[in-house]
Amino acid sequence: MSKTKSNILLIYTGGTIGMVKEFKTGVLKAFDFKTLLEKIPELQLLDCNIDTISFKNPIDSSNMNLQYWVQMVEIIEVNYNDFDGFVILHGSDTMSYTASALSFMLENLAKPVVFTGSQLPIGDLRTDAKENLITAVQVASMQIKGKPAVKEVCLYFEYKLYRANRTTKINAENFQAFASLNYPDLAESGVYLKINNEHLLKPNTRKKLVINKKLDDNIALIKLFPGINKAVFESVFNIPNLKALIIETYGSGNCTTEKWFIDMLQEKISDGIYIINITQCSGGSVVMGNYETSSKLKKIGVISGKDITTEAAIAKLMYLLGLNISGKVFKTMYEASLRGEIT
The answer to whether residue 252 scores a pLDDT higher than 70 is yes
**pLDDT recorded at residue 35:** 72
**pLDDT recorded at residue 3:** 52
Q: What is the pLDDT of residues 259-312, one digit of tens each?
A: 999 999 999 999 999 999 999 999 999 998 888 778 899 999 999 999 999 999
Residue 297 exposed, middle or buried by CB count within 10 Å (0-12, 13-18, 19+)? buried
**pLDDT recorded at residue 114:** 98
205 classed as catalytic: no
Least confident of 29-38, 168-177, 216-225, 227-236: 29-38
Q: What is the pLDDT of residues 119-133, one digit of tens each?
A: 988 878 888 989 999
What CATH number has the domain spanning 219-334?
A: 3.40.50.40
**Fold matches, 6-211 and 219-334:** yes
DSSP state of 13: -
* Contact by Cβ (8 Å): 308, 341: yes
> Per the CATH hierarchy, to which homologous superfamily does domain 6-211 belong?
L-asparaginase, N-terminal domain (3.40.50.1170)
Helices (H) and strands (E) in the chain, counts: 9, 20
Q: What is the pLDDT of residues 175-223, one digit of tens each?
A: 989 999 999 999 999 899 999 999 999 999 999 999 999 999 999 999 9
* Contact by Cβ (8 Å): 290, 248: no
CA angle 335, 338, 340 (to 5 degrees): 100
Q: Which of 4, 13, 16, 135 is catalytic?
A: 16
Q: What are the structural domain ranges in the chain?
A: 6-211, 219-334
Say how far apart CA 232 and CA 260 lie, in whole Å. Answer: 12
